[in-house]
């Protein structure tokens, strides 16, 4: 708007100067034409052998046709006004710069624009008349008031200002209304964003318009919902991890205190040491899981890629958990294929994924339930399908089951980040981790990874 105002002001100044120049140049041309006409007339007269007499000058002044607008004076060499078309003697105290310049000018004429003692602004044009011998005889001075030209210029300026004001109003009023529809919502958006940044996740933006600002308001409200949900999951995660850490620490502390009192018998000692070892391993696993999650979040997880036999890592994971399944009276059904193609991967990380998925299947499968494992190879992809007959996952929880901190079942131990870590590991292996589940029926997890190809072999060689 400031640029528009500045441009309009510059345009008004430019147009005003142009109008003033137009009127002044028009008057100057008229005066010049009158002077040229007089010089030609008197030159013709002297060229015919006639002399310019006072009577001829008096007759010329009397018959001057432009006397209504232009005052004509005849001036002698001393600057005295001899004749005047207005019939009055002009104020001789007023200087005549044009007359003085015309006396010395090579063209024998001069112009002057200035103010009279009365304040009136005039334009004067003086031409020198010479006799047949080329000597000064008289000077003709044409004077025009510039009041009318200045009034016309002022009127043009006022018209331009009025037009500029109308133009500015036609631009500014809609602009202000338009800005009002933006500034108010944006201020509210800014205030809401600040409240959200300060931890008020309940605040929401009132949607005023169905436009881009309205879409932004919807986005901020959605952001607040997501932050609120993430904050809730974070709090649940902290509570869950605290509980998960407290349980093994309590067991370790309790058995350590029991073993420190007196001299426990060998059976108690062995049982206590077994509990301490198992709980310590459990703590180590939880800490490693947290560290893996932190590395993934910061993009610092490093894979040691090599040509590996995926079945060997799966067998290792099954072997590690088979005894636990037996102790919990749950059954493994593992259809191991004879042979599958090798893959490019980090064996420790892939084994971690298998252990995590099988561990989840054991946690959510009741006594007497079945955990099935099947491996197939199809279209250069190896699919490891791990299914269970557990409690399943509710349909509303299924889309978010791989989100960090998210736990669909709060009654079962776990931090809620195992699936997020496993999904990220499979993504880094250019594979996929897909989950299908039906509540009260069971869950099926499909781990897919591409087989080793020529490009992968080139990577290994390099």
Confidence of residue 343 (pLDDT cuts 50, 70, 90): very high
Q: Is the Cβ–Cβ distance between 396 and 373 less than 8 Å?
A: no
Q: For 40-96, what is each residue's pLDDT tens digit?
A: 888 877 766 667 777 888 888 888 887 788 888 888 888 888 888 877 666 666 788
Its CATH class, for the domain covering 2-153, is: alpha beta
CATH of 232-297, one of 1.10.10.60, 1.10.10.410, 1.10.287.130, 2.40.30.10: 1.10.287.130
What Rg do the C-alpha atoms of the chain give, in angstroms? Answer: 52
Which of the residue ranges 160-169, 337-346, 397-406 would you say has the lowest mean pLDDT? 397-406
3-class state of residue 197 by DSSP = helix
| In the predicted structure, residue 400 carries a pLDDT above the cut 90 | no
Cβ count within 10 A of residue 287:
11
What is the dotted CATH code of the domain comprising 306-461?
3.30.565.10
Which tokens in the block code for residue 215? 């879409």
Locate the DSSP E strands across 98-241.
Answer: 109-115, 121-130, 136-145
Which tokens in the block code for residue 136? 């000064």
pLDDT at residue number 375: 93
Q: Are strands 331-335 and 370-378 parallel, antiparallel or unpaired?
A: parallel
Task: Say how many CA atoms lie within 13 Å of 178 toward its Cβ.
Answer: 7
Q: Is the Cβ–Cβ distance between 402 and 435 less than 8 Å?
A: yes
The domain limits of the chain are: 2-153, 232-297, 306-461
What average pLDDT is seen over the chain? 83
Q: Is the Cβ–Cβ distance between 184 and 206 less than 8 Å?
A: no
The span from the CA of 114 to the CA of 123, in Å, is: 7
| In the predicted structure, residue 415 carries a pLDDT above the cut 70 | no
Confidence of residue 399 (pLDDT cuts 50, 70, 90): confident
Which of the residue ranges 15-24, 109-118, 231-240, 270-279 would you say has the lowest mean pLDDT? 231-240
């Amino acid at each position: 708007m400031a640029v528009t105002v500045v441009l309009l002001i510059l345009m008004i100044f430019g147009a005003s100067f142009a109008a003033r120049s137009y009127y002044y140049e028009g008057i100057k041309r008229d005066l010049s034409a009158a002077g040229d006409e007089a010089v030609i007339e008197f030159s013709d007269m002297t060229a015919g052998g006639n002399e310019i007499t006072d009577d001829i000058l008096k007759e010329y002044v009397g018959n001057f046709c432009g006397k209504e607008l232009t005052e004509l004076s005849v001036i002698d060499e001393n600057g005295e006004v001899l004749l005047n078309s207005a019939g009055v003697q002009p104020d001789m105290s007023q200087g005549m710069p044009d007359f003085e310049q015309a006396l010395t000018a090579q063209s024998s004429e001069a112009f002057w624009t200035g103010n009279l003692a009365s304040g009136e602004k005039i334009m004067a044009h003086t031409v020198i008349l010479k006799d047949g011998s080329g000597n000064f005889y008289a000077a003709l001075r044409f004077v025009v008031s510039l009041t009318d030209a200045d009034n016309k210029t002022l009127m043009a300026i006022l018209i331009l200002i009025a037009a500029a004001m109308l133009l500015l109003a036609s631009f500014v009023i809609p602009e202000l209304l338009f800005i009002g529809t933006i500034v108010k919502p944006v201020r509210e958006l800014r205030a809401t964003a600040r409240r959200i940044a300060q931890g008020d996740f309940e605040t929401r933006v009132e949607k005023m318009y169905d436009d881009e600002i309205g879409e932004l308001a919807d986005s901020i409200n959605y952001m607040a919902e997501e932050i609120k949900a993430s904050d809730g999951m974070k709090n649940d995660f902290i509570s869950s991890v605290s509980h998960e850490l407290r349980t093994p620490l309590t067991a370790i502390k309790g058995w350590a205190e029991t073993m420190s009192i007196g001299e426990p018998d060998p059976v108690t000692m062995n049982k206590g040491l077994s509990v301490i070892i198992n709980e310590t391993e459990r703590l180590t696993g939880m800490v490693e899981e947290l560290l893996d999650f932190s590395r993934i979040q910061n993009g610092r997880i490093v894979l040691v890629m090599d040509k590996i036999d995926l079945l060997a890592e799966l067998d290792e994971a099954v072997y590690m958990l088979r005894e636990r399944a037996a102790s919990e009276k749950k059954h493994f059904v593992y259809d191991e294929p004879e042979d599958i193609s090798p893959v490019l991967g980090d064996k420790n990380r892939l084994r971690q994924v298998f252990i995590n998925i099988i561990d989840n299947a054991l946690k959510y499968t009741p006594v007497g339930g079945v955990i099935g494992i099947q491996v197939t190879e199809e279209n250069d992809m190896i699919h490891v399908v791990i299914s269970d007959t557990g409690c399943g996952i509710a349909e509303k929880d299924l889309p978010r089951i791989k989100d960090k901190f998210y736990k669909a079942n709060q009654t079962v131990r776990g931090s809620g980040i195992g699936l997020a870590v496993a999904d990220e590991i499979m993504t880094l292996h250019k594979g996929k981790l897909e989950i299908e589940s039906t509540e009260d029926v069971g869950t099926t997890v499909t781990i897919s990874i591409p087989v080793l190809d020529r490009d992968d072999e080139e990577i290994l060689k390099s």
